[in-house]
Structure 1
């Protein structure tokens, strides 16, 4: 009976070792699969990010062109107005200086109520 018990115990130990190997393989497979899934997800995220960045750059380029045109138009208009003001200042420079000097030197005090 002891030989039979010894054989039964040996069979159980062999079965336990085999089960341990199967569990270890399952863990390795799961770890490998998790790693693969993570890498795959990272690739998808990178591709999505690149796609959205390209969309944003296209959107920005389209809308910046409109802003650039408006900015150029405003700059032209402002330059024109500045030129007008400078010409008016040059044309009336003597009168403006005379009026300023007259206002400073010919004071007419008036009571404030």
Structure 2
């Protein structure tokens, strides 16, 4: 009976070792699969990010071209207006200076009632 118990215990120990090996392999496989899934997810995220970045740059390029054209046009119009104002100022500058100097030096005081 003792030999039979010893053989039964040995069989149980062998089964436990085998089960432990199976569990260990399962854990290793699961860990490996989790790492692979994480790496795949990172690759997908990077691809998605690169795609969206490219779409954004394309969108930005399309919409800033119109803004640049409008900005250049407004800048040209502003330059023309500034030139007109400066020309008008120079045109009447001599007369204005003479009038100002005359008003200062040739004062005609009048009494206030």
TM-score, structure 1 normalization: 0.89
Q: How does 1:48-59 map to 2 (within 5 A)?
A: 48-59=48-59
Q: Distance in 2 between matches of 1:43 and 1:101?
A: 80
> What residue is the counterpart of 1:94 in the other structure?
94
Q: How many residues align?
A: 111
Q: Distance in 2 between matches of 1:110 and 1:64?
A: 65
Q: Deviations over 1:55-77 (max 9, x none)?
A: 00000000000000000000000
- Uncovered stretches (5+) of structure 2, i.e. residues with no partner: none
> What residue is the counterpart of 1:29 in the other structure?
29
Q: Distance in 2 between matches of 1:108 and 1:81?
A: 40
Runs of 4+ displaced beyond 3 Å: 99-111
SS at match of 1:92: helix
> What residue is the counterpart of 1:12 in the other structure?
12
How far is 1:107 from its partner? 8.1
Q: 1:26/1:93 Cα in 2 relative to 1: closer, same or farther (>3 Å)?
A: same
- Uncovered stretches (5+) of structure 1, i.e. residues with no partner: none
Q: Distance in 2 between matches of 1:24 and 1:109?
A: 113
How far is 1:90 from its partner? 1.2
Q: 1:77/1:3 Cα in 2 relative to 1: closer, same or farther (>3 Å)?
A: same
Q: 1:109/1:78 Cα in 2 relative to 1: closer, same or farther (>3 Å)?
A: farther
Q: How does 1:28-107 map to 2 (within 5 A)?
A: 28-102=28-102, 106=107
